Structure 1
Amino acid sequence: MSTVTDTQNPIPGAPTSVALLGTGPMGAPIARNILAGGVPLKLWNRTAEKARAIEGGQVAATPAEAAAEVVLTVLPDLPQVAALLSGEHGLLSGWRAAGIEEPVLVVHGTVSPVAVAEFAEDCRRRHGVTVVDAPLSGGTIGAEEGRLSTMVGGPADVVKRLLPLFGLYSSTVVRFGETGAGSTVKACNQIVVSATVTALAEAMAVATASGLDPGKVQSILAGGLANSEVLRQKGQRWIDGDFEGGGSAKNQLKDLNFIAEIAKDRGLKLPLSASVRGAFELMIDAGDGELDHTGIYRTVLGRSE
């Protein structure tokens, strides 16, 4: 990993003033990839030790100190992003102090398309801040390997400036329209992810209940039409029965609730998504909400405690 000391940005076209707020399981590897690309990076995290653990970054004590021309947020939901703006130690204060007149705020978390579009309009009208929604797919492994899929919504000229930066941790970046469009595409992605996780959990439950070796069953699935990135990344969890860490069930349900919101707004009925949503509601009601979403396997088997 390279340590950035030169203020000259070696990535052609990439922003030279960048901050990342939220150095959790996804944010930390994204930050490392940005720094490895030679881009100077300010870092802030509510638990400062996590930010300090990232070699080469400039750790800020507050969001205000982290204020940069481009601020990437890797946080669970939009309320956590909005909470960073106001107050003496907020981003708005930091941008004013730094003389940054047209800051860009990137929302990498999975949020409501309706809410982020409203948030973006409010930020633009009241503060002159451009909000770009750019949710990610690929999980922590994709983040570590720099091959995330990034779904982007925002003004075309702003997004164009961000593409070299996004390319440091993404293998696929596509702009779909104005702010909110990226989150709509992420909802489409999460329909497939949540359904695939649940389908594989049911398949593993059938295999286990039938006395079959789940590893051998997975090898057959991986060799045919049932193969998927979910199986590649998550398959070992069902073999080991280890559902700690990873993408939590409560966040999966959050995404499914956004999908239900979109379906209602568009006048759609999504029977599969509704069924999967019900399964995750049961999982969380049983106290398994902090487990990886593959832990829906426990719900299928009736093993939740």
Structure 2
Amino acid sequence: MTTIAFIGLGIMGAPMAGHLIDAGHDVVGFNRSRPAVDALVERGGRAASCVADAVHEAEVVITMVPDSPDVEEVVLSPEGVYASAKPGALHIDCSTIRPDVARKVAAAGVKLGVRVVDAPVSGGEAGAKEATLSIMVGGEAEDVEAARPYLDVVGATVVHVGPAGAGQTVKAANQLVVAGNIQLLAEALVFLEAHGVDTEAALAVLGGGLAGSTVLNRKAAAMRAREFTPGFRVDLHHKDLGIATDAAREAGVAIPIGAHVAQLMEALRATGHGELDHSALLLLVEQLSGRDL
């Protein structure tokens, strides 16, 4: 049994922490809103009153917070993870943040005797609940191996992709692919409906061919039903696409389709749909097609 501090018990973090409890670990949770902590206690975990309280006895610290500034605050502040953690503690950051911030955080950890890996995840709420996440891990090889037993509890695919920050770079690429898939699925659905085709039958055959994808399998039914309860919010995917487009610009890489989908996600957010699931890109396609009446 390992004592694990889990910081950030949202849509993704809560089920991940729950799996670690089920695996027999002592999980101490902290979240900005108290109900999430209470739910963790009901699952068998322990509550912390602040970040420092959560991490001071922990051998492993896992963070799952929304954005780069949140990670910097939680990790680098005077009352944060690195100021409070035991020497030699392992920090696994599962947040999705800028690669340069991941490298900054890792460098700060080294100076303070904390081992750090960036381990962003893909798979959405369903993947978190089913413990089937795909996890792209950046960091020193020995630190990644130390993190693997915990990542294997919450993920089905755990791959070391390079040094510090590499996990976040791969996650940015992942978010480009996912957004592009959702946008094209949305366009295909509106196209099929406009022609009066049975979309359930059409998607069944599309899913069995080269057009098949995890996005289609997980998102199509809810999109057909216009059910956009968030598994991954538009606000967060908008943030992630900003990371991807900024990183592409820095590297001098052209991502014309990715940049276009990023603009569409921004437009969807600007129309007040930021709290919906990212599959709500369908609403924007309908609007652009004049079929939202």
TM-score (norm 2): 0.92
Q: Which of residues 23, 30, 35 in structure 2 aligns to 1:44? A: 30
Would the alpha carbon gap of residues 304 and 159 (structure 1) be closer, same or farther in structure 2, given more than 3 Å must change? farther
Deviation at 1:86, TM superposition (A): 5.8
Helix, strand or coil for the counterpart of 1:150?
strand
Aligned residue pairs, count: 286
Q: Give yes or no for contact 1:244–1:291 (8 Å, CA) kept in 2.
A: yes
Q: Give yes or no for contact 1:283–1:304 (8 Å, CA) kept in 2.
A: no
The reply to whether residue 218 of structure 1 matches residue 203 of structure 2 is yes
The reply to whether residue 81 of structure 1 matches residue 71 of structure 2 is yes
Deviation at 1:166, TM superposition (A): 0.8
Would the alpha carbon gap of residues 53 and 88 (structure 1) be closer, same or farther in structure 2, given more than 3 Å must change? same
Q: What does residue range 1-305 of structure 1 map to in structure 2 within 5 Å?
A: 9=1, 16-54=2-40, 55-67=43-55, 68-85=58-75, 89-95=79-85, 100-125=86-111, 127-302=112-287
Q: How far, CA to CA, are the matches of 2:84 and 2:157 in structure 1?
A: 32
Q: Give yes or no for contact 2:116–2:143 (8 Å, CA) kept in 1.
A: no
Q: How far, CA to CA, are the matches of 1:284 and 1:145 in structure 2?
A: 28
**Matching residue's letter, 2:132:** R
Greater helix share, 1 or 2? 2
Would the alpha carbon gap of residues 160 and 204 (structure 1) be closer, same or farther in structure 2, given more than 3 Å must change? same
**Matching residue's letter, 1:105:** H
**Matching residue's letter, 2:204:** S
**Residue-by-residue CA offset, 1:202-221 (whole Å, 9 max, x unaligned):** 00111222223322221121
Q: How far, CA to CA, are the matches of 1:255 and 1:291 in structure 2?
A: 15
TM-score (norm 1): 0.88
Deviation at 1:20, TM superposition (A): 0.8
**Residue-by-residue CA offset, 1:234-266 (whole Å, 9 max, x unaligned):** 111211111132211121121111111221122
Q: How far, CA to CA, are the matches of 2:285 and 2:234 in structure 1?
A: 14
Q: Give yes or no for contact 2:8–2:30 (8 Å, CA) kept in 1.
A: yes
Deviation at 1:36, TM superposition (A): 1.1
**Matching residue's letter, 1:20:** F
Which ranges in structure 2 are unaligned for 5 or more consecutive residues? none
What is the CA RMSD across the aligned residues, in angstroms?
A: 1.8
Q: How far, CA to CA, are the matches of 1:93 and 1:188 in structure 2?
A: 32
